Structure 1
């Protein structure tokens, strides 16, 4: 008993130390942003590259901290019938995930824990898209330090009031889309095309007993059976996102996520809360993803000639029908995951597909591939510490 208490205390101390490390790194990143945004011309290529660099540093810093507190494996199974042939997922000799995703893409997925987005960002980082990653999420802009940094990342914060969210999303999506096509605000100096990857969780929140009940009630009102493992998705935000990016987006990736150690009746956030992940070292030990894809042109998005936020209810209903089918398929995938402990297509003969699944599955370590990205987060702070020290030494020598 004493030994266990000592172990728990040591883990907590370790968590506090890494949280301090993380906080200092975040201060370093936003310091780099603040100085760069003051010195660099708005709309310049250098300014855009600075923000992309700090995105890379942030995801590397987060990955480094989580991998030390809650070591994890990440397993990806992709559907070869839908994922573009040019895409791949492999593991190098050091256990790092290496992938090739199509740029100008949108990720959608089921939302189980508050750190879901980190694993998706990590996958994009392995494909050199980590510096071009955008998240549509609830408003966290008021969080000290982090909020400032995320605003500079151009993350899209939702207020859950549709009229204001619609205006905000339309404007930011238009900027991302035009920059990708070489005609946006970040293309004043040249014809640079800025790729992107945008993540949105259509469910809007994580699975819990309360949200499952609300989802079931909503589905019952539509005459549909309840979803057992996922929540019914909200339609308008995703519809607007895809319409806003339709001139530049190439692929929509659907990433169905399952965590090792969770049972069908469990709510992920109860076991893998932020406190458990960062302070207690009780994060998921295995993160599984089943990735399939659609060409944007194959998704019903209504009239291309109308304004992005001009919704025709008939077209929206067609899109909702498509998304509903996607989410019921996702629910089947999750049921199969809980049954087999891995993602296997529930509509196929399991015994005949295992070899095919193995060929399209890779397992990598969830870890930083380039430690230089982590070190870079502290670069600005280190520069000022050295500068202040030099000034202090010089002044002390002069006064001596």
Structure 2
């Protein structure tokens, strides 16, 4: 899911050495001798069977989720709060679908660490899963490695102590809303679509963000705001050869240092979001994402496609997360220029984190709570808590179908 958050800052006056426009860029991806996940785990016949079974599972599940949305859509004109709560439930259905899909067809190890700012917020459970204890309202940002980054980050919401997979909101390009079924489903979910023209996008974003910060009152008279995780990819697109060229050209034009392993972030969209949400969220959570086995100077999209991950048995051996937290009150939002500098500095830090991963095979370890220097990583996998959770996806449609048959028999009898 691509999100192009345009940056309009003026060039800085102090000259900076021009970056190497070809650093980390190849005109064409060279032939890959060995996939980072090893040889294909399945022959052509098994791959076809896996593809067919995957398609049946995914299409039937997505259609079922969408039917559930349509069944609950009249609530919009009856009670808006109830409507949004119901859509959050169907959003959980989709989360369970992609989590189960990944566990069955593209299993991978998730290796997680974080710095001091998230100490005590990431724990391993007795049954081998991970439990996050992130707040119910926040902005989540990450570098964009491959198109399926959002699947793993959405799973974080599922694995949170207070489940947040029903309260995920994503900013994405407008063309995606025209995908049959999926596009309409994303509109039901309240995702924010961007045309990549701020004159058009700003009113849309302001409208959606205002809804996300609207206060509500419970029966006891207490004021609250609905849970919200707003997911942003400030780079605007996934890292690729073409993306690196554009990033390097932008760095040269603006006089910025060009990061080696990631793309320069575009700050305008994120600045607008934080300015609109200021006072309603306390933290920005930053995730550095790295995939095992991608050679230096190469790109994840050349290795981890939908086909290789789910059909050929070549999912990433590990997906690595390193988490940091920033207090919104400490982020300079006085001017777009100040925020742009702050965001670029965080991305340069992220680039150094990626360099460590490429050099050592590990993102920075979590500081040990006991004060010793033993590195800490939590390893788990993308899966649901209970095997039968997938049945929830069909619960609404199944119930309506059951009630319809009872009503039909009753009507015929009388």
Q: Report deviation, 1:33.
A: 1.3
Matched residue, 1:333: 353
- What is the DSSP-based 3-state SS (H/G/I as helix, E as strand, rest coil) of the residue aligned with 2:266? coil
**Contact 2:114–2:364 under 8 Å retained in 1:** no
User: 1:1-400 residue pairs with structure 2 within 5 A?
Assistant: 7-39=43-75, 41-80=77-116, 82-83=117-118, 87-127=120-160, 128-139=163-174, 140-178=176-214, 181-182=215-216, 191=223, 193-302=225-334, 315-344=335-364, 355-358=373-376, 361-386=377-402
Q: 1:305: which partner in 2?
A: none
Unaligned stretches of 5+ residues in structure 1: 303-314
Moved more, 10-19 or 169-178: 10-19
State the Cα distance separating 1:75 from its structure 2 match.
Answer: 1.2
* C-alpha distance in structure 1 between counterparts of 2:200 and 2:78, whole Å: 25
CA distance in 2, matches of 1:35, 1:89: 37
For the 8 Å contact 1:77–1:357, the answer to whether it is kept is no
Shift of 1:198: 0.6
Q: Distance in 2 between matches of 1:173 and 1:42?
A: 22
Instruction: Name the residue aligned to 2:25.
Output: none
Shift of 1:190: 8.4
**CA distance in structure 2 between the aligned counterparts of 1:32 and 1:5, rounded to whole angstroms:** 36
Question: For 1:354 and 1:14, how far apart are their aligned partners in 2?
Answer: 46
Judged with a 3 Å threshold, the aligned counterparts in structure 2 of structure 1 residues 155 and 354 are, in CA distance, closer, same or farther, namely farther
CA 1:64–1:222: 2 relative to 1, 3 Å: same
TM-score, normalized by length of structure 2? 0.82
Whole-Å separation in 1 of the counterparts to 2:372 and 2:322? 14
* Cα distance in 2, alignment partners of residues 61 and 190 from structure 1: 35
CA distance in 2, matches of 1:337, 1:97: 22
1:176 deviates by 0.3
Greater RCO structure (CA 8 Å; 6+ sep): 2
Asked if the contact 1:28/1:379 (under 8 Å) is kept, the reply is no
Distance 2:91 2:384 in 1: 14
| 2:41–2:313 Cα contact (<8 Å) kept | no
Note the alpha carbon deviations across 1:322-345, whole angstroms, 9 max, x for none.
Answer: 111111111010010111111127
Q: Tell me the SS of whatever aligns to 1:141.
A: helix
Q: Higher mean Cα deviation, 269-278 or 317-326? A: 269-278
Which is further off, 262-271 or 381-390?
381-390
1: CA distance, partners of 2:312 / 2:78: 42
Once the two structures are superposed, residues 322-372 of structure 1 have per-residue CA deviations (whole angstroms, 9 ceiling, x without a partner) of 111111111010010111111127xx9xxxx993531xx211111111445
Q: Which moved more, 1:106-115 or 1:386-395?
A: 386-395
Task: Call closer, same or farther: CA 1:394–1:168 in 2, change over 3 Å.
Answer: same
1:96–1:365 contact (8 Å) kept in structure 2:
yes
Q: 1:356 to 1:252 in 2, by over 3 A?
A: farther
Preserved CA contact (<8 Å) 1:114 1:274: no
Structure 2's unaligned 5+ residue stretches are: 1-39
Residue 24 of structure 2 is matched in structure 1 by none
How far did residue 169 of structure 1 move?
Answer: 0.9
Whole-Å separation in 2 of the counterparts to 1:11 and 1:391: 44
Is the contact between residue 41 and residue 312 of structure 2 (CA under 8 Å) also seen in structure 1?
no
Task: Please state how far the C-alpha of 1:388 moved relative to its aligned partner.
Answer: 6.2
Greater helix fraction, Structure 1 or Structure 2: 1
- State the Cα deviation string for residues 222-269 of structure 1 (Å, max 9, x = none): 223321110001110010111111121111011000011212222111
